[in-house]
Chain A
């Protein structure tokens, strides 16, 4: 079923006609001018943000930040506020390019300088093919059900592959599925936090977000600084997740994405319309078109503020309240969590919750971790395959002989097969020798995409729809923030990120 908030798609792959007006951006093929569809009502709850929430609400919110709060106190959370707010602005800027052109941010990067796009292609291959992200959720499931985590992870991988291959339109299937899962996560989190937390926990957690500049000496130690950098990078979507959001926006039909066909499951690949070789631009000299554009910006702003920012905050505040409540009841939880090993710490937190609020709370915590892991895995496999297929289709010679759906399926089953082999025979997170390189690349990509956003939105879009100065300053700050922290950690402590 198509998203009811979005208008019906128009024709898709028509090439530019002779003497047709076009928008030339960079050295790649110019974008023909087409009509911008009418924007849906700005207040809505269905849409591609669900992917970003599914990917973004993960270990950072449920484990890393509650852990930092237990170690340094709630005042350290001002860094989380900055991290998530920055990500909300990044999301809006990613949407600017994708909605104005129907192209992914990877295509935009290629318009600026093709090697930048290939850099992201390689980073995705290096960082996201390892199935380590499955381990936390599957291990939590093992604690609840007793099923060995490698078994549930392998079965899960095959199920994801089959599900996505059978789907008529992958985006619709996944949006429906993730919407229900995220909705359940949010509702359950609120109910559990309502039953367990106290007014005092909440006020200290929330007021801690406004203690700007609080940075205890211990946080600047070689042991903790890299962990703090990693936690800031993991506040909301991390690594390349924001870049993939542009592909989901396009497939949801947002803005000029309405002119691009949707990616289909392998079984229905034959039904896919021909994918155009580039995106489209609307007439930015036409006031009526600009009014529609403002409608689309309002639509995505609602997504960024209420759904993305609001839900990320809700989940992390709730988990922090729970962690505080647990540490009060079991003071030794603080020492266990400080010790650092993730699985032991998650189990310690679960046990502490159990002693604070009865066994139900321990299981609820592990259930949440499993649910978060499932959301992230579903989103990650789809996103990775979507991004790699998009870059391959447009920029690898001869790839256009295939349909986008075939390339998508190729990457999907490739990463699934590799994942199962690694789960059975290899190191899930990647070879120990390159773990630091992978962590470096993941955080470096975030600084790099801020730079790409500045270049793409200010050079590849027509003037009337370019970002304002204040937005550019915030994105520029993001680039300095991510890259600066990363290199400071590397130079000062010789450690990448924790």
Chain B
């Protein structure tokens, strides 16, 4: 099994940042237009944390050699699984906070399939920002 080397945890930063930023954007916009602060916070946390965790996990898998660098297909496959899961966590958490009950989306298969398709778009945006931030961090570290 590949070992995550010392210091490689920093490789998780760009992906985690992109995921958290997505949650923050969703929650921030909710707050901006006058949604209750609690609702905005739930969206920020319930979407940002899973996306951030999966984003960070992506960086760790790359550094451990489990995901090849420089190809789009593995990234898209990774998010094909991770993005619908993150959205499922988001939906159920928001439902739990608002209604006090754990409820899955009514058409679970359709929900996951739709999120799976959207994940390809997310994967492009994720990789785009991830690469940009990684380059910046590497440049800063080498200075």
Give A residues with C-beta under 8 Å from B: 1, 4, 41, 43-46, 144, 176, 179-180, 182-195, 197-199, 202, 306-307, 310-311, 314, 317-318, 358-360, 362-364, 367
Least Cβ–Cβ distance between B89 and chain A, in angstroms: 13
Name B's interface SS: helix
Name A's interface SS: helix
B132 within 8 A of A: yes
The size bracket of the interface on B is 35 or more
Query: Is B129's CB under 8 angstroms from A184's CB?
Result: yes
**Contact among B25, B110, B117, B118 with A184 in the assembled complex (CB-CB below 8 Å):** B25
Write the B75-100 contact mask toward A (1 if CB under 8 angstroms, else 0): 00000000100010000000000000
- Closest 6 pairs (CB-CB, A-B): A186-B125, A187-B125, A183-B129, A190-B122, A314-B121, A190-B121
B104 within 8 A of A: no
Closest residue of chain B to A45 (Cβ to Cβ) is: B131
Give B residues with C-beta under 8 Å from A: 18, 21-22, 25-26, 29-30, 32-35, 47, 70-72, 83, 87, 107, 110-111, 113-115, 117-122, 124-129, 131-132, 135, 139
Least Cβ–Cβ distance between B91 and chain A, in angstroms: 9
Query: Is A182's CB under 8 angstroms from B128's CB?
Result: yes
Query: Is A186's CB under 8 angstroms from B22's CB?
Result: no
Bound-state CA distance A191–B47 (Å) is 9
Query: Is A202's CB under 8 angstroms from B117's CB?
Result: yes
Least Cβ–Cβ distance between B143 and chain A, in angstroms: 11
Query: Is B25's CB under 8 angstroms from A194's CB?
Result: no
Q: Specify which chain A residues have a CB less than 8 angstroms from the CB of B117 in the assembled complex.
A: 202
30 pairs across A/B with beta carbons < 8 Å?
A1-B139, A43-B71, A44-B131, A45-B131, A45-B132, A46-B131, A46-B132, A183-B132, A184-B129, A187-B122, A187-B126, A189-B121, A189-B125, A190-B119, A190-B121, A191-B47, A193-B118, A193-B121, A195-B87, A197-B114, A199-B110, A199-B113, A314-B120, A318-B121, A358-B30, A359-B34, A360-B29, A360-B30, A360-B33, A362-B33
Query: Is B121's CB under 8 angstroms from A183's CB?
Result: no
Interface centre among B22, B71, B113 (most CB of A within 10 A): B22
Least Cβ–Cβ distance between A14 and chain B, in angstroms: 31
| CB contact under 8 A between A195 and B26, given known A202-B117, A363-B32 | yes
Q: Specify which chain B residues have a CB less than 8 angstroms from the CB of A41 in the assembled complex.
A: 70
Q: Specify which chain B residues have a CB less than 8 angstroms from the CB of A362 in the assembled complex.
A: 33
**Contact among A43, A180, A367 with B70 in the assembled complex (CB-CB below 8 Å):** A43
Least Cβ–Cβ distance between A236 and chain B, in angstroms: 16
Kindly list 13 other residue pairs between chains A and B, CB separation below 8 angstroms, not including A1-B139, A44-B70, A310-B124: A4-B139, A144-B32, A179-B128, A183-B125, A185-B125, A186-B128, A187-B18, A187-B21, A188-B25, A191-B47, A194-B114, A307-B128, A311-B124
Bound-state CA distance A367–B33 (Å) is 11
Closest residue of chain B to A42 (Cβ to Cβ) is: B70
Closest residue of chain B to A200 (Cβ to Cβ) is: B110
Closest residue of chain A to B129 (Cβ to Cβ) is: A183
Interface centre among A45, A184, A187, A364 (most CB of B within 10 A): A187
Q: Specify which chain A residues have a CB less than 8 angstroms from the CB of B139 in the assembled complex.
A: 1, 4
